[in-house]
Amino acid sequence: MIDSLNLKVFLSNLPNLPGIYKYIDSSNNVIYIGKAKDLKKRVSSYFIKKSNSPRINVMISKISSIEFTVTNSEVDALILENNLIKSIHPRYNILFRDDKSYPYLKISSHEWPRLVFCRVYKEKIDGQYFGPFPDAWAARETIRILQKIFHIRNCNDSMFLNRSRPCLLGQIGRCSAPCVGLINKSNYLKDVDSAVLFLKGQSSYLIKEIKEKMNKASLELNYEQASVFRDQIMALSKILNKQTMESSDNEDTDIISIVFEGNKYCVNVAMVRYGKHLGDRSFSENEYLIGPEAVLDAFSSQFYLKNKLPDVLVCSHNFADRNTINIIKQYRGERKKIKIFVPPLKGIRYSWLKQATDNANLALQKKFDNISLYINQINKLVDILKIKTNSLSSFRIECFDISHLQGEATRASCVVFENCGMNPSLYRLFIIDKIKPGDDCAAIEQVLYKRFSKQNIKVPNIVLIDGGRGQIEASKRVFKNLNLDISLLIGISKGENRKTGLETLVFADDRHDLVLGVESEALMLLAHIRDEAHRFAISGMRNVANKSRSHSKVMDIKGIGKKRCASLLKHFGSLSGIASATIEEISSIDGISSSLAHDIYESLH
């Protein structure tokens, strides 16, 4: 621990300014990063308080030195703290690993508005945004409902401007086909306005309005239009009857519940938008050390720096720093007042929080169950293979697999199993080139050299190769050239009909091939890791293949980039449309000169 005399001098010299501080241990590792409105008061509080929790006292006992950085404001301190935590990963900080942005629905500002699924929120720039939704399924299900009731288009502009007949959605009654004039602009915009009312939670008002339209159409003997309104009312009523967690209050609400057990905790965030409960998402991490209030601070700081703040927060605990939300508001440039509710609660908010807490407990229990299963499987594997390991939590397996599309777009995946679970943040995808198409052994040789030829790398307990003797021999050559232990190499060769449980383990040293059998828990672990590597490799290869398919021949023409290509496709609809156009028609597009139009014409003929 830091010397008491030096500590007193250091604390007395700290400024009363906003900034971030770092606690560093005797090995010169940053173990904790915090932010403060007043650095002197905040850092001193750790060493003055006698009522620190045992967990915080453990951290304090490991502090060897302290560093700090002064910032211009609390907002700057929050941003710097968040960025440093993500880049350094201090031992006692919380990092919520959630690399996905949340989905939104957008009704575009086009002349004929379009309903779009998106993951980027740009308020009041190019349309109206609704969300966020907790997952893609909830967002896409809402699109399905809106298309079924209001028949709003979701096609891109290129398709919309170049249709000669209704698309499939138009033919099955999920789009009113404005692209071919089957609905006039006035009626289409009314449907869009109704969809907006639905998304804003004003369903009761919307049903009343549609009933008035239906009655009016009936009086005018327009029974066909009246039947359309009748179907909309029935569909809306059916949806509303399914909403058991609905509120008449249209304020956007996030419900955040934190539960913990031992050294693990789980945060569950549920989202209520426009009175409708859209679902939830759970985040579980290890090393619960700082108390639920501080967990809430850390989660809110990371979550709302990149997601829109709701009108209401319903939380299972109070914030450790009451100013956290105000700092986030200041960063986002939002002035609205955020209502915060904590227990005791009544009514619908009590139900929401109870559901979030139940789901958090279920997620935490699932994590415990998975860890128990993995620990048992690791123990069996260690015993069978006689592997020496200091602790099961540090036991690490890296698995490599190769995937290609008929010899092209070859990619190698590396997935990592550690801390009793798969760690997607450490997954890597390698480009394989300059080999004979379809040569998996050469591909394995190349990826292992790329992975292990670097200095000061962390060598796993097992390097698992998806393949048999050929792949293991190629791997053996790499390890010998790099002076690495070949006993770490294990190949997992598929059994008859690729059935799980019939695999053979192949070794690079003098051990004989080993068949563990269908009931082997050790084999189930290796097969699970192998399958994850296979999935990751295939997804990487498919992404490359899809990207090459979507590449337009037009972009191969000198002088044509993404913007000009988009303009041409938007105007002519397709490559064949561009090819059938004259030089004069091509040059009429903004940004296309006569000489460039001539080059385009010549390239396509």
Euclidean distance between CA atoms 159 and 177, whole angstroms: 12
Q: What is the mean pLDDT of the chain?
A: 83
**What is residue 156's predicted lDDT score, i.e. its pLDDT?**
83
**Domains with residue ranges and CATH for the chain:** 4-88 (3.40.1440.10), 104-242 (no CATH), 253-364 (3.30.420.340), 392-546 (3.30.420.340), 553-603 (1.10.150.20)
pLDDT, one tens digit per residue, over 301-321 is 888 887 888 889 999 999 988
| pLDDT for the residue 5 | 60
What number of helices (H) and strands (E) belong to the chain?
A: 20, 18
| Contacts of 435 by beta carbon, 8 Å cutoff, 6+ apart | 410, 442, 443, 446
Sheet holding 104-108, edge to edge: 115-118, 104-108, 127-130
Match 């290129």 to its residue by tokens.
Answer: 158
Strand stretches in 148-275, DSSP E: 253-261, 264-273
CA distances from 409 to 135, 547, 599 (A): 31, 11, 30
Are 184 and 234 in contact, with CB atoms under 8 Å apart?
no
The total of other beta-carbon atoms located within 10 Å of residue 505's CB is: 21
Handedness of CA 358, 359, 360, 361 (dihedral sign): positive
Q: List, in order, residues 6 or more apart from 156 with CB less than 8 Å away.
A: 114
Question: How many percent of the chain have pLDDT more than 90?
Answer: 21
Question: pLDDT digit string (tens) for 349-390?
Answer: 898 899 899 888 888 888 777 888 888 899 999 999 888 877
Residue 310 region by backbone torsions, left for phi larger than 0, else alpha for psi between -120 and 50, else beta: beta
Q: Is 473 exposed, middle or buried (0-12, 13-18, 19+ CB in 10 A)?
A: middle
Residue type at 223 in one-letter notation: Y
Distance CA 290, CA 287 (A): 9
More confident residue, 42 or 225: 42
- Count other C-beta atoms under 10 Å from residue 392's C-beta: 14
| pLDDT, tens digit (0-9, with 9 covering 90-100), for 79-125 | 888 888 888 888 888 776 655 567 888 888 888 999 988 876 665 56
**pLDDT band of 254, cuts 50, 70, 90:** very high
CB 295 within 8 A of CB 94: yes
Is the pLDDT confidence value at 438 over 80? Answer: yes
Pick the more confident residue, 501 or 448: 448
Q: Identify the CA nearest to 370 among candidates 525, 261, 152.
A: 525
Q: If we measure between CA atoms, which residue out of 157, 489, 175, 158 comes closest to residue 166?
A: 175
Residue 453 phi/psi, 5-degree rounding, is -85, -10
Lowest-pLDDT range of 130-139, 340-349, 476-485:
130-139
pLDDT digits (tens, 9 = 90+) for 58-73: 888 888 889 999 998 8
Confidence class for position 244, pLDDT limits 50, 70, 90: very low
pLDDT in tens, 141-198: 788 878 888 888 988 887 888 888 888 888 888 898 999 888 899 889 988 988 888 7
Better-predicted residue by pLDDT, 576 or 114: 114
Residue 18 confidence (pLDDT) above 80: yes
- Please list the residues that pair with 115 across neighbouring strands: 107
- The DSSP-derived string for 385-427 is HT---S-GGG--EEEEEEEEETTEEEEEEEEEEETTEE-GGG-
Tokens 């015993």, residue located: 383
Q: What is the widest separation between alpha-carbon atoms in the chain?
A: 93
Quick one: which of 325, 334, 327, 332 has its CA closest to 254?
325
**CA–CA gap between residue 126 and residue 133 (Å, rounded):** 19
Q: What is the CA radius of gyration of the chain?
A: 30
Asked whether the CA dihedral 169, 174, 177, 182 is positive or negative, the reply is positive
Please count the other Cβ atoms lying within 10 Å of the Cβ belonging to residue 83: 13
Return d(Cα 525, Cα 514) in angstroms, integer: 15
pLDDT in tens, 461-511: 999 999 999 999 999 999 999 999 999 999 999 877 667 778 899 999 989
Determine the 3-state secondary structure of 104 from DSSP.
strand
Determine the Cα–Cα distance for residues 235 and 60; give it in Å rounded to an integer: 60
pLDDT at 234 over 80: no
Q: What is the pLDDT of residue 246?
A: 54
Q: How many Å apart are CA 68 and CA 52, to the nearest integer?
A: 22
pLDDT (mean) for 415-424: 89
At residue 133, what are phi and psi to the nearest 5 degrees?
-100, 150
Helix intervals (H) in 414-463: 440-452
Assigned token pair, 556: 């191969």
Helix (H, G, I), strand (E, B) or coil at 493: strand
CB-based contacts of 425, cutoff 8 Å, min separation 6 = 97, 99
